[in-house]
Structure 1
Amino acid sequence: MSNPRSRSASLHEEEELRLPRTPGFVRRFWARHPIFADVLIALICLILSIAPATNFGTYRSTPDGGMVLVDPPPLAASIVVAALVLSACALLLRRRQWPLIAFVTAYIAAVGYLFLLEPAGGPLLLVASYSLAVYRSARTAWTGLAIGMGSLTLISFALQLTGVITLQSSLNAIFGQLALALIGTLIGVNVGGRKRYLEAVIDRSRQLLIERDQQAQLAASAERARIAREMHDIVSHSLTVIVALSEGAAATGDRERARDAATAAAATARGALTEMRSMLGVLRDGAGDVPLAPMESVAPNATVATAQNAGYPVTLTTIGEPNVSAAVGFAVGRVVQEGITNAMRHARGATRIAVHIDYASDPIVIRIENDGVTDTAGTSGFGLRGLSERVAHVNGTIHSGPVGERRWMLRAELPGASEATIADQTEESE
């Protein structure tokens, strides 16, 4: 049972290709009704070939100028030659599927014509040679012409040497069949070459359409992954901070501290909302001028300050100046954000969360260490997977795992100032 989806996809491809109509009413009708065309050709060949096929034997001229059959052929020979012609005509009905078989049968029938009183024949070789060139290849057609005519010539001369036919009859048969086969081959090579060229062009066009759709799907998948990664970074970090601030505000009896915590939670929520609006701007209709990346990178010191306001013991150590590309700078901010968020989530009793960024080294080294890790901490999750993709995007590496008892470290290495242009070129190519 055919797949409706594949049929609809095929129709969609045909609409996308917008192929022009075949010129001429007759050619369109001929192309739409191949069975009718093959039956008509077979009938014409049968009519033009069967009558000469039954007219063979030895004749003698009479005094009044007439011809008398004095040596009629055996009945079995008549039946054999007629059967060859009928078989050759019948195989023309399958000339598109079996062009070589029809071609060989036509040459066998041509050998039968050698036994006629006068060399005769029908259009069998013309049609068979044409079909071989169109439905196989030009090389096969020329090879078949050479082998077929060579065999027919050898058989004809052998019959002439044994006295079965005369030299004149042999030459007439050879040149007559050669003319028909050569005409059919020349026309078939021209038509077949054009047919195969058009099929190749159409096939290439379909392939380009498929590749275009695949590229669009890959681009859409990559954009969905990017949006999911950004959403996770924004929502996960911000909600973790908001939860910590809200719990702290609910647990303290100091109204001033509770008010400060609530204010900080509101500010964190507003910042996350602003960043999310900037990131989701690419989904608006007609937003072709909106970039595919956030406008500004996440500053590590801002992430550290937010975590400190939530009551977490976070420290930041920076060595060197952040002289990096925009893509690498954004990746640095996200690495710090994800590392602190994981520490806040999985190490609720942490007494130390140390962030170390070394811009002076090449590559840039980012380390985030914390204690208070519980047994539920792991190295899998959407955050770390998205972070690995982000770091790989700028040709960096990242590793996360335990480094001691109840201690955890996230370490990332990103291209330094000497490789800043690499990240920029990667961004521009997307």
Structure 2
Amino acid sequence: MSRTRSRSDSIREDEELRLPRAPGLFRRFWARHPLFADILLALICLFLSLAPAAPYPDTSVPEGTYIALNIATVAMVAIGCSTLIWRRRAPLGPFLAAVILGTVGLFTGMSGGIVLLLVACYGVAVYRSARLAWICYGIGAAWFLGFTTVLMLTGATVLQVGLDTALGYVALGLIGTLVGVNVGERKRYLLAIIDRSRQLLIERDQQAQIAAASERARIAREMHDIVSHSLTVIVALSEGAAATPDREQARKAAASAADTARGALTEMRSMLGVLRDDESPLPLAPMQPVPARDTVETAQRAGYPATLTVVGQAEVSPAVAHAIGRIVQEGVTNAMRHAPTAKTIAVRLEYTTATVTIEIVNDGVTGEVGSDGFGVRGLSERAAHVHGTVRSAPAGGGRWVLRAVLPTSGTAPAARRETMEDDG
């Protein structure tokens, strides 16, 4: 069973688009009942066609033949007008019926198809296209004028009757075509505007969904980095405080754990405060970047052999500064979590005029370390966001290397952009 769009679906779309109601009570009624409108139009056309369709009385024709001719004429006109019921789906049917009735009228003197031709030309223009309407009208006009000329030259019809019949069909066909082209083009133009509005509405909803998904991913990365790093440090400090017999060292470890927890709470409050602010949209700029030095010092306070080396100096965009801080934070946190026996956790930042290279090496990996967690995914997303690259893999001898290369401006390098344009 094929799915069809219900009337309620169309109403909901129209309400979403805020479309105005169609003007006029009768116009809205015809739009809601197209079959009834077509049947009524066929009856009106039949009524207007029957009077001129009847042949003139001819005393030389037997009465029986005259009656049979009348019946045949009425039947032909009725069949021709009945084709108007299908004028929306098959508008060429009424046009062919009108041409046939007009051709017969050239021999019998009737003009029952003249009204039908007017409506048929209008229907072709409205329900098909203006081009097809003009083609049909041109063929019909050429047929009537050419065939009438042949009949008049051969004496098969009277000059006046032939001219009146042919010119009547040509004139009314032209009127129907002109009106139909005007109405049809306006109708198609409005439908195109409405269809484009629906497409824009769909695109707006899709863009909103994409933006919401991107924002959820950004918040998930931030929450992961804040919670993961802070809890790892707090766990390490708490275990150290519980294991040491020195009360002073235990007190310092507990104080450092509390400071780390307060810092995490401050960052979380800042993020949640942004989410709860209903008066302004979520900012596109990243949160305040976490300095790499603070991350290393926090790891040192937790008892890990972390070091920081900075080579060079360059101005970087806020997005790149934020990415640097989070990548260092995630790399150090992973080393603290997965390499607790590491003798060194070396963090190296190398700045050039074009790029920033981040390298975090630890030598405490003793087993296979998975690379499918949220942290690794977040690192890849952060690097890709500023058009950088990141790689995290073992380097042999129990060493694990996290290496990221980011452009200082946060945009793709010029050579890469030119290559992409050439490929496109």
Aligned match of 1:391 in 354, 379, 383? 383
Q: Which of 401, 404, 414 matches 1:409?
A: 401
Mapping 1:149-168, distance limit 5 Å: 149-168=141-160
Which has the higher mean CA deviation after the structures are superposed, 381-390 or 74-83?
A: 74-83
User: Structure 1, residues 367-424: CA drift from partner, whole Å, max 9, x if none?
Assistant: 00111213331332211111111111112111111111321101011113xx36889x
Tell me whether 1:264 sits opposite 2:264 in the alignment: no
Aligned equivalent of 2:207, options 206, 215, 222: 215
Asked whether the equivalents of residues 48 and 122 of structure 1 are also in contact (C-alpha less than 8 Å), the reply is: no
Tell me how far 1:321 sits from its aligned partner: 2.5
Q: Does 1:124 align with 2:116?
A: yes
User: TM-score scaled by structure 2?
Assistant: 0.89
Alignment partner for residue 89 of structure 2, among 73, 97, 103?
97
Residue of structure 2 in register with 1:29 after alignment: 29
Aligned to 1:194: 186
- Whichever residue aligns with residue 97 of structure 1, its letter is R
For 2:69 and 2:342, locate their aligned partners in 1 and report how far apart those are by CA, in whole Å.
Answer: 107
After TM superposition, the structure 1 stretch with the greater mean CA deviation from structure 2, 350-359 or 104-113, is 104-113
Q: 2: CA distance between counterparts of 1:214 and 1:119?
A: 58
2:102 to 110, 115, 119: 110
Q: Give the conservation status (yes or no) of the 8 Å contact 1:53–1:116.
A: no
- Cα 1:327–1:33 change in 2 (3 A) is same
2:294 to 277, 302, 311: 302
User: Judging changes above 3 Å, is the alpha-carbon distance between structure 1 residues 229 and 397 closer, same or farther for their aligned structure 2 residues?
Assistant: same
Structure 1 residue 79 displacement after superposition: 6.4
Q: Partners in 2 of 1:13 and 1:233 — Cα distance?
A: 43
**TM-score, normalisation: structure 1:** 0.88
Deviations 1:21-47 (A, max 9, x none): 222223222323222211111001112
Deviations 1:236-272 (A, max 9, x none): 1111111111111222222222221111111111101
Q: Which runs of 5+ in 2 are unaligned?
A: 414-424
**Alignment partners' CA distance in 1, 2:315 and 2:110:** 98
2:374 to 378, 382, 389: 382
SS across alignment from 1:123? helix
Report the number of matched residues: 413
Is 1:144 the counterpart of 2:155 in the alignment? no
Cα shift at 1:120: 5.4
Name the structure 2 match of 1:40: 40
Q: Secondary structure at the match of 2:16?
A: helix
After the TM superposition, which of the residue ranges 148-157 and 314-323 deviates more from structure 2?
A: 148-157
Deviations 1:325-368 (A, max 9, x none): 21111111111101111111111221111101012463111100
- Residue of structure 2 in register with 1:427 after alignment: none
Shift of 1:80: 5.8
Q: How far is 1:292 from its partner?
A: 4.0
CA distance in 2, matches of 1:224, 1:94: 54
2:267 counterpart letter in structure 1: E
Quickly say closer, same or farther: Cα 1:73–1:142, change in 2 above 3 A: farther
Q: CA deviation at 1:55?
A: 2.1
Q: Any idea what SS the aligned residue of 2:381 has?
A: helix
C-alpha RMSD of matched pairs (Å): 2.7
| Mapping for residues 2-401 of structure 1, pairs under 5 Å | 10-55=10-55, 59=58, 69=61, 81-117=73-109, 119=111, 121-288=113-280, 291-360=283-352, 362-401=354-393
- The answer to whether the 8 A contact 1:46-1:86 is kept is yes
Equivalent position SS for 2:184 = helix
* Runs of 5+ unmatched residues, structure 1: 60-66, 424-430
The code of the aligned residue for 1:31 comes to A
Deviations 1:163-218 (A, max 9, x none): 43223222111101112111111111111111111111111111211111111111
Higher mean C-alpha displacement, 195-204 vs 286-295: 286-295
- 1:244 and 1:8 map into 2 onto residues whose CA distance is 61
Report the counterpart of residue 422 of structure 2 in structure 1. Answer: none
